[in-house]
Amino acid sequence: MLWRAYFMATLPPTPFPLRLKTPKPRILDNFRGHFIMRNLVETAGLSLGLLGLTLTTPVYATDEQVPLAKRTEESGVALDSVQQAMELPHLALSLSVDPASESIAGIARYTVKATQPLKVVEFDLDPRFAINQIAVNGQPISGRNWRNDDGLLRITLPQQLAAGSSTIVSISYDGKPRVAPKAPWDGGFVWAKTKNGTPWIATAVQTNGCDLFWPCIDHPTKRVEWLDLAVSVPKPLVVASNGTLQEVTEKDGWSTYRWQAHWPQGYGVSLQIGPYELAQETYHSRFGNAYPIKFWYLPGDKKGAKMLIGQMRDFLDFFESTIGPYPFSDEKVGLAETPHLGMEHQTINAYGNGFKLSPEGYDWLMQHEFSHEWFANQLTDETIADMWLHEGYGTYMQPLYLRWKNGETAYRVALWDLRKKIVSKVPLAPKTPVSSAYYNDDKAGWGGDIYYKGAWILHTLREYIGDEAFFAGTTRLVYGRSDPKPGNFHWRVANTDDFEQVMEEASGQDLGWFVDAYFRQAALPELVSQRDGNILKLKWKSGSKEPFILPVEVQVGGRISTVEMAGGTGQIDLESPDAHVVIDPNTKLLRYDPAIAAWQKQQAAEKDTKAAEKN
41 pLDDT higher than 60: no
53 pLDDT higher than 60: no
Are 444 and 541 contained in the same domain?
no
Are 430 and 577 contained in the same domain?
no
Are 59 and 177 contained in the same domain?
yes
- What number of other Cβ atoms are within 10 A of residue 113's Cβ? 19
Best CA proximity match to 562, nearest among 571, 551, 573, 570: 551
Instruction: Judge whether 540 lies within some domain.
Output: yes
Q: Higher pLDDT residue, 37 or 268?
A: 268
Q: At what angle do helices 388-406 and 364-371 cross, to 10 degrees?
A: 130
Q: What average pLDDT score do residues 417-435 get?
A: 96
117 pLDDT higher than 80: yes
Q: What average pLDDT score do residues 412-434 get?
A: 97
User: pLDDT digit string (tens) for 497-524?
Assistant: 999 999 999 999 999 999 999 999 999 9
User: pLDDT digit string (tens) for 161-201?
Assistant: 999 999 999 999 999 999 999 999 999 999 999 999 999 99
CATH of the domain at 135: 2.60.40.1730
- pLDDT value of residue 64: 52
> DSSP string of 298-356?
-TT-HHHHHHHHHHHHHHHHHHHHHT-S-TTTTT-EEEEE-SSSEE--TTSEEE-STTP
How many separate domains does the chain show?
3
Best CA proximity match to 471, nearest among 315, 327, 321: 321
Q: How confident is the model at residue 156 (pLDDT cuts 50, 70, 90)?
A: very high
For residues 435 and 444, the answer to whether their CB atoms sit within 8 Å is: no
Are 109 and 233 contained in the same domain?
yes
> DSSP string of 54-113?
---SPEEP--PPPPPPHHHH-SSPPP-HHHHTEEEEEEEEEEEEETTTTEEEEEEEEEEE
Instruction: Judge whether 545 lies within some domain.
Output: yes
Are 214 and 250 contained in the same domain?
yes
> DSSP string of 151-176?
SEEEEEEEEEEPTT-EEEEEEEEEE-
Instruction: Judge whether 197 lies within some domain.
Output: yes
Are 423 and 278 contained in the same domain?
no
Q: Which of 234, 262, 282 is the last residue in one of the domains?
A: 282
Instruction: Judge whether 338 lies within some domain.
Output: no
- pLDDT value of residue 382: 97
> DSSP string of 395-454?
HHHHHHHHHHHH-HHHHHHHHHHHHTT----S-SS-SS---GGGGG-TTT-HHHHHHHHH
- pLDDT value of residue 246: 98
Q: Which residues define the annotated binding site?
A: 368, 372, 391
474 pLDDT higher than 90: yes
How many Å apart are CA 370 and CA 53, to the nearest integer?
27
Find all residues with CB under 8 Å of 300, minimum gap 6, and list them. 51, 52, 53, 54, 55
Are 495 and 549 contained in the same domain?
no
14 pLDDT higher than 50: no
Are 405 and 513 contained in the same domain?
yes
9 pLDDT higher than 80: no
Q: Which residues define the annotated binding site for Zn(2+)?
A: 368, 372, 391
Q: Which of 520, 537, 572 is the last residue in one of the domains?
A: 520
- pLDDT value of residue 577: 87
- What number of other Cβ atoms are within 10 A of residue 582's Cβ? 12
Are 460 and 547 contained in the same domain?
no
Q: How confident is the model at residue 54 (pLDDT cuts 50, 70, 90)?
A: very low
Q: Which of 488, 520, 552 is the last residue in one of the domains?
A: 520
How many Å apart are CA 479 and CA 498, to the nearest integer?
13
Query: Which of 32-41, 91-100, 394-403 shows the lowest per-residue confidence on average (mean pLDDT)?
Result: 32-41
Instruction: Judge whether 274 lies within some domain.
Output: yes
Q: What average pLDDT score do residues 223-245 get?
A: 98
Are 395 and 489 contained in the same domain?
yes
Which residues span the domain enclosing 475? 382-520
Q: Which H or E run includes 535?
A: strand 535-541
Q: What average pLDDT score do residues 577-604 get?
A: 96
The rounded mean pLDDT for the chain is: 90
CATH of the domain at 585: 2.60.40
Instruction: Judge whether 100 lies within some domain.
Output: yes
Are 530 and 515 contained in the same domain?
no
Are 142 and 209 contained in the same domain?
yes
Instruction: Judge whether 362 lies within some domain.
Output: no
Instruction: Judge whether 221 lies within some domain.
Output: yes
